Amino acid sequence: MSTGIEGLRVAIIGGAGFIGHNLALHLKSLGVDVATVDGLEVNNLISLAANADNVPHPTLSMALVNQRLILLREHKIPLYVQDARDYHALCHLLAQIKPDVIIHLAAVSHADRSNKNPYSTFDHSLRTLENALDYARGASVKRFIFLSSSMVYGNFDGQAVTEEAVCNPLGIYGALKLCGEKIVLAYNQVFDLPYTIIRPSALYGERCVSRRVGQVFIENALCGKPIYLTGDGRDRLDFTYIKDLVQGITLCVTAEKALNQTFNLTFGNGREIRELAEIISDEFPGTQIGSRAKDNLTPERGTLSVDKARRLLAYEPAFPLDRGYREYVKWYKGLKTTQPSLFAG
């Protein structure tokens, strides 16, 4: 049975990133004519080659990024190496691709790095977004999908935050994501550009190099290093496996009910960070667990309601933390078995 997605032309800006390459691979498997655009600069080949962010395992991170590029090439997904901050070059490239759908992922996807370098964050997040939107308004783009963040909410209020909650972000990253949402809405108001805004949370999964907590815990454990909780570890996050997010974004590509809507796309159940540590202790016995003070720019978070996505998109996340995170650990263990040198040093 046709799903209406085969043959659709989709351009993913930031397509060589963590979310982007996983999404591109999935869309390609469904028969989508997908193209990726990426400058390979932010948290990617260029910055990692110089270790500009001083990551603990630069060789490992480089290997993971190279795996992304190899997978894209093996699946015949074109990668256009183009800095999306260059308006004219980006528009020229998109005019060649002629996408029906643009998915905008380009951003500095790390709150701490955003706070340390707000100019770069603005440049790579909002400038790239405005360029893509300005192309889309004059082209035959059927929908524009923007990846925002749960960080737009700031401190969560209540048991489960819905899309209607008042947004009051803390720090540069959340503020710029909310600005991005407002710009997307403005392009819809002024130019009638169809959009979908997606708010993910606490992502984890294969080939992530963004130094999210799930990645850091596994890599430290594999290298015999301690892991650190913030405070007593009772802070809650709505941990979301990359496969669930990819499923949700894919639904947004064609669903009519996704047009001009904002969705939380998470697992839909906040879990304490110490539960993540418990899985690490089970998978890596003897791992030391320490504690560190919480950053005052880290909001109090928890569960994001996915009821709207369930109702309008038939979204159904399949990977609770106990399943998804153990799959992620298994993948890392296999990587260390086959390439132990990546974990040296």
- What is the C-alpha to C-alpha distance for residues 72 and 78, in angstroms, rounded to an integer? 7
- What is the C-alpha to C-alpha distance for residues 285 and 148, in angstroms, rounded to an integer? 37
Q: For the domain bounded by 9-203+241-269+301-318, which CATH number is listed?
A: 3.40.50.720
pTM score: 0.94
Burial 181-215 (b: 16+ CB within 10 A, else e): beebbebbeeeebbbbbbbbbbbbbbbbbbbbbbb
pLDDT for residue 2: 41
Instruction: Summarize pLDDT for 253-293 with one digit per residue, the tens.
Output: 999 999 999 999 999 999 999 999 999 999 999 999 999 88
Q: pLDDT 10s digit of each residue in the chain, 345 long?
A: 345 799 999 999 999 999 999 999 999 999 999 999 999 987 777 777 776 666 777 889 889 999 999 999 999 999 999 999 999 999 999 999 999 999 999 987 776 777 777 777 888 899 999 999 999 998 989 999 999 999 999 999 878 999 999 999 998 999 999 999 999 999 999 999 999 999 999 999 999 998 889 999 999 999 999 999 988 888 999 999 999 999 999 999 999 999 999 999 999 999 999 999 999 999 999 999 999 887 776 788 899 999 999 999 999 999 999 999 999 999 999 999 999 998 876
Q: Which residues of 29-115 form beta strands (DSSP E)?
A: 33-38, 79-81, 101-104
pLDDT for residue 45: 77
Q: DSSP for 304-320? A: EP-HHHHHHH-------
Q: Report in angstroms the alpha-carbon separations of 38 from 16, 43, 97, 142.
A: 6, 11, 14, 22
Q: Which residue matches tokens 């960070």?
A: 273
Which DSSP category does 226 fall into? -
Determine the 3-state secondary structure of 274 from DSSP. helix
The secondary element (H helix, E strand) that includes residue 111 is: helix 111-116
Helix axes 273-283, 213-222, angle to 10 degrees: 20
Q: DSSP for 323-336? A: HHHHHHHHHHHHHH
Other Cβ atoms within 10 Å of 106 Cβ, number: 29
Instruction: Summarize pLDDT for 185-230 with one digit per residue, the tens.
Output: 999 999 999 999 999 999 999 999 988 899 999 999 999 999 999 8
Q: DSSP for 174-220? A: HHHHHHHHHHHHHHHHHH---EEEEE--SEE-TT--S--HHHHHHHH
Determine the 3-state secondary structure of 172 from DSSP. helix
